[in-house]
């Protein structure tokens, strides 16, 4: 529904200095500035800081995509857009995104779904991190904000010296 005032289309509505995204009458929504469907709403940058010179470091930028139904957000995911990492074959990171979080390895054509454990924390190798295509919540909304920082560690290989 398009709203007009004096023959001019209204793009935004404000009340008491706040933007109004939906209007209701008798409990029924009569207008909304939001559209139903998926849209890109921003980015989240994950910064990986190396604990030492032998582990992964750099940044990964994820697009933030939300599904809106009227004026409410009902689903959200973070999809890999740009990788700027060094030493992606060495080390691991610990991600703490909460229980029910899912990550997908691969790309938009082929991906495998993995669930975070009930603790909401997972250790993932540098190689796997560079291949994570998407993060989301299995049910509910994942809110990682616009920035995440993690520290990578180097996995020391043990050596068996028995003769």
Give the pLDDT mean for 17-27: 78
Q: 161 Cβ partners below 8 Å, 6+ apart? A: none
Angstrom distance (rounded) from CA 21 to CA 30: 11
Cα–Cα distance, 34 to 71 (Å, whole number): 5
| 49 or 159, which is more confident | 49
Which of 102, 42, 43, 38 is closest to 73 using CA atoms?
38
Band of the pLDDT at 70, cuts 50, 70, 90?
low
pTM over 0.75: no
pLDDT(159) > 50: no
- Read off the pLDDT band of 133 (50, 70, 90): very high
The stretch 150-158 carries a mean pLDDT of: 73
Q: Calculate mean pLDDT across residues 150-160.
A: 68
Structure confidence by residue, pLDDT tens digits, 88-126: 888 899 999 999 999 998 877 878 889 999 999 999 998
Mean pLDDT, rounded, of the chain: 84
């Amino acid at each position: 529904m398009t709203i007009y005032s004096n023959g001019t289309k209204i793009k935004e509505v404000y009340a008491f200095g706040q933007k109004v995204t939906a209007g209701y009458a008798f409990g029924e929504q009569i207008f909304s500035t939001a559209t139903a469907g998926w849209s890109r709403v921003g980015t989240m940058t994950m910064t990986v800081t190396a604990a030492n010179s032998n582990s992964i470091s750099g940044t990964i930028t994820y697009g933030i995509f939300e599904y809106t139904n009227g004026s409410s957000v009902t689903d959200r995911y973070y999809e890999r857009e740009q990788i700027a990492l060094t030493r992606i074959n060495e080390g691991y990171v610990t991600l703490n995104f909460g229980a029910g979080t899912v990550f997908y390895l691969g790309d938009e054509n082929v991906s495998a779904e993995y669930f975070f454990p009930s603790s909401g924390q997972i250790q993932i190798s540098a190689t796997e991190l560079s291949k994570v295509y998407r993060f989301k919540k299995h049910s509910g909304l994942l809110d990682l904000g616009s920035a995440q920082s993690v520290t990578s560690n180097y996995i020391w290989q043990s050596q068996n010296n028995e003769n």
